[in-house]
Chain A
């Protein structure tokens, strides 16, 4: 089954003619993803390596039946791209863009509320269901189809962990990057719920970091609603307070959002938290062996 993206996913790439958009569109096509449309205002009627380009999201969806949008548009205009995709009724929108002002995301979230669009990101690597579809920038070759769901606020840290799983022959059902920003479209709780309901997913790895309360909320959710095992890692035990650690959302504010708090919340709900990221693969192996 996998979640969110699969062999039926038809992708429209917003910003397909830009440097990032064109490079990753090519990579996605190479992976086997059905990239059916591109969208760049002003370039409608042209094409990118056989993929038709449209001026508007409405047209792109109407003409091609695209059901997922991926956004490679600069931060200053990415909010507009997200809202246009939502207005066109796109069921799933994945925003890769980093650097969107937080007040813009406050407004985007408000705009999305009550609409049927699910947003993943921004500032995320996207989603891959190995062997079925890659809608993102992650390296396809390190992934392996299988039964572990991965949900993470990071990019390369996620690849690191996936690499450990794949090299142990432990495949992944879907890997979802929810992004490193403080205000994002989908939280850990949203994705964990999908993994719990997915018949193909047997266990989940959750990768968190300092800042905010998403891990604490996830701990509560896992405790109440999940039957499948969750292995967690929280980055940033050594992060100093008050500093933005790369990701806009990775900041300990007013003493809150520390890794220690998050780890305590997860452990108090009976969730295995791995202290050393190099041991996540081995830990999942042990957890699966026990079942």
Chain B
């Protein structure tokens, strides 16, 4: 789960990671008021989940509250297109108005889980304010890493190692170490999948500040973080994906025109792959989960149909413990309750497949049946033309 910069900074404040003074604004008047409270020059920053705001005009500087009000009225409601939003962009609904700082250095520090090491790793680099993945690709030696063994946790020597590596000597070493320890504590106690400060700045008056804040949370841990769940902004998510999550259906919207419904994530990914191999474009990833009851099949079909780009649907269900005849009944019941206006290709396999296929064939409904996954994909691709 993602949150906005202003929310990440609220969390940083709780954990003692230093952030600039600032406040959220949803109207130009609010923005002016916050700027007046701060006094002096401010940055007006679009609050969207996508990165790359700066280059797209999503971060602007203002010298007084009048200018802030004008800038805010231009930015609120604007469609921001960054390299991460896709060409359709995203509408700006919220702004963070923040005191502008005189920046002397821009650094990077972040925490993720290293899968191979099976523990968290804190990374730091002198290449702040840049895309860390680009830095990792072109100059990996510029990235310092400290692995944090869960048995011991984040120790002060780890903070010192990174601080010295970043050239944060003298009076800056201790605050740097403290900031890093606080960042790690945030990552741990909030069950983050990513906790990133990019850039971490050294100001002209010798302070360390998290100029930007990015926190992503482990979806599996949200059950124990109601305070994080409350921060969810569904306006930043695709509407069909929000709908699907309400029914515990894993659904990701893509760009193609062949909707797919599958039971099992690996099988669902493979189904998308086979559609592509057959010359088509999948419209989505959808895992209807184990059980494939008629309720779940209904919900899934409804969501697929709601995507106006879908020209054909491929249902690929492997009946294991859930038998194919039960799945077939589920599909029939679901179809009865919906207005299905696109061709539906169904491929069943597994336990009682013959009985399941017979039920579908004799239903009188205009389904196209396939026994083989490749055949199903070919039929779906043909139906979508």
> A: which residues have CB within 8 A of B?
27, 75-76, 99-107, 109-110, 137-139, 141-142, 152-160, 163, 180, 182-183, 207, 209-213, 217, 233, 235-240, 243-250, 253-255, 259, 275-279
B274 lies within 8 A of A156 (CB): no
Q: Which residues of B contact A183 (CB under 8 A)?
A: 113, 115, 118
Q: Which 6 A-B pairs have the closest CB atoms?
A: A246-B265, A154-B266, A156-B264, A157-B266, A101-B221, A139-B320
Report which residue of B119, B270, B319, B374 has the largest number of chain A beta carbons within 10 angstroms of its beta carbon. B270
Q: Complex formed: what's the CA distance from A180 to B263 in Å?
A: 14
Within the assembled complex, what's the spacing in Å between the Cα atoms of A245 and B269?
7
Q: Is the CB of B120 within 8 A of A246?
A: no
Contact yes or no, A212 B269, CB < 8 A: no
Contact A102/B321 with A154-B267, A160-B267, A235-B273 known, Cβ cut-off 8 Å: no
A113 to chain B, nearest CB (A): 9
Bound form: Cα–Cα A236–B93 in Å: 34
Complexed CA–CA distance, A168 and B273 (Å): 24
A139-B351 contact, Cβ under 8 Å, with A100-B220, A212-B116, A255-B133: yes
For B285, list chain A residues within 8 Å (CB).
Answer: 239, 243, 245-246
Kindly state whether residue B282 has any CB partner on chain A within 8 Å: yes
B269: A residues at CB distance < 8 A: 157, 209-210, 235-236, 238-239, 245-246, 250
16 CB-based A-B contacts, threshold 8 Å = A101-B224, A102-B113, A106-B118, A139-B350, A183-B115, A217-B116, A236-B272, A237-B273, A244-B219, A246-B269, A247-B265, A253-B112, A255-B133, A255-B137, A277-B270, A277-B373
List which B128-151 residues lie within 8 A (CB) of chain A: 132-133, 136-137, 149-151
Which B residue's beta carbon lies closest to that of A155? Answer: B264
* B residues in contact (CB < 8 Å) with A: 112-113, 115-116, 118-120, 132-133, 136-137, 149-151, 188, 191, 193, 218-221, 223-224, 250, 252, 254, 262-270, 272-277, 282, 285, 287, 318-321, 349-351, 372-374
Q: Which chain A residues border B321 with CB–CB below 8 Å? A: 27, 137, 139
B120: A residues at CB distance < 8 A:
103, 106
**Complex formed: what's the CA distance from A102 to B119 in Å?**
9
CB distance from B315 to the nearest CB of A (A): 13
Known contacts A139-B350, A182-B115; A103 and B252 CB within 8 A of each other = no
A210: chain B residues within 8 A (beta carbon)? 269
From A99, A163, A236, A239, contact of B220 by CB (8 A):
A99
Q: List chain A residues, Cβ under 8 A from B113.
A: 102-103, 106, 182-183
CB distance from A79 to the nearest CB of B (A): 11
Question: Inside 8 A of B267's CB, which chain A residues have their CB?
Answer: 154-157, 160, 235
Known: A137-B321, A160-B318. A102 touches B266 (CB 8 A): no
User: Shortest beta-carbon distance, B14 to chain A, in Å?
Assistant: 18
Looking across the interface, which residue of chain A has its beta carbon closest to that of B318?
A156
A96 nearest CB across to chain B (Å): 11
Given pairs A212-B116, A278-B274, 9 additional interface contacts (CB within 8 A): A101-B220, A107-B150, A109-B118, A157-B269, A163-B349, A235-B266, A239-B269, A239-B272, A259-B273
Minimal Cβ-Cβ distance residue in B for A211: B115
Q: Given A107-B150, A275-B277, answer yes or no on A142-B270 (Cβ-Cβ < 8 Å).
A: no
> In this complex, what residue of A is CB-closest to B266?
A154
B273 to chain A: which residues have CB within 8 Å?
Answer: 235-238, 259, 276-277
Q: Once the chains bind, are B266 and A180 in contact (CB under 8 Å)?
A: yes
Please name all residues of chain B whose beta carbon is closer than 8 Å to the beta carbon of A142 when the two chains form the complex: 320, 350-351
Contact between A278 and B320, CB atoms less than 8 A apart: no
Q: How far is the CA of A211 from the CA of B274 in the complex (A)?
A: 19
Separation of A157 and B223 alpha carbons in the complex (Å): 28
CA distance A61 to B338 in the complex (A): 52
B118 partner residues in chain A, CB cutoff 8 A: 105-106, 109, 183
- Tell whether A141 pairs with B351 under 8 Å between CB atoms, given A159-B320, A213-B115, A213-B116: yes
Bound-state Cα–Cα, A163 to B373, Å: 12
Verify B150–A106 contact, CB threshold 8 A: yes
**Chain B residue with the shortest CB-CB distance to A254:** B133
**Quick check: A106 and B119 within 8 Å, CB to CB?**
yes
Q: Which of A156, A213, A254 contacts B136 (CB 8 A)?
A: A254
CA distance A240 to B269 in the complex (A): 11
In contact, B115 and A212 (Cβ under 8 angstroms):
yes
A138 to B186, CA, bound (A): 39
Q: Is the CB of B221 within 8 A of A103?
A: yes
Q: Are B219's CB and A248's CB within 8 A? A: yes
Residues of A near B188 (CB, < 8 A) are: 103
By beta carbon, the residue of chain B nearest A107 is B150
In Å, the complex CA distance between A222 and B218 comes to 33
How far does the alpha carbon of A207 sit from the alpha carbon of B264 in the complex, in Å?
Answer: 14
CA separation between A228 and B272, bound complex, in Å? Answer: 31
Contacts of B149 in A (CB 8 A): 110
**8 Å CB contact of B266 from A100, A163, A207, A213:** A207
| A278 surroundings in chain B (CB, below 8 A) | 274, 372-374
- Inter-chain contact A154/B265, CB cutoff 8 Å: yes
A246 near B349 with CB under 8 A, answer no
Residues of the B chain whose Cβ atoms lie less than 8 Å from the Cβ of A159 = 318, 320, 350
Residues of chain B lying within 8 A (CB to CB) of residue A255? 133, 137
Docked pose: A154 CA to B271 CA in angstroms: 13
Cα of A237 to Cα of B270 in the assembled complex, Å: 8
- Complexed CA–CA distance, A157 and B350 (Å): 11
A142 to B151: give the CA distance in the assembly, Å: 44
- CB neighbours (8 Å) of B224 from chain A are 76, 101
B318: A residues at CB distance < 8 A: 156, 159-160, 163
**CB neighbours of B150 from chain A (8 A):** 103, 106-107, 110
B191: A residues at CB distance < 8 A = 101-103
Distance, CA A154 to CA B268, complexed state (A)? 10
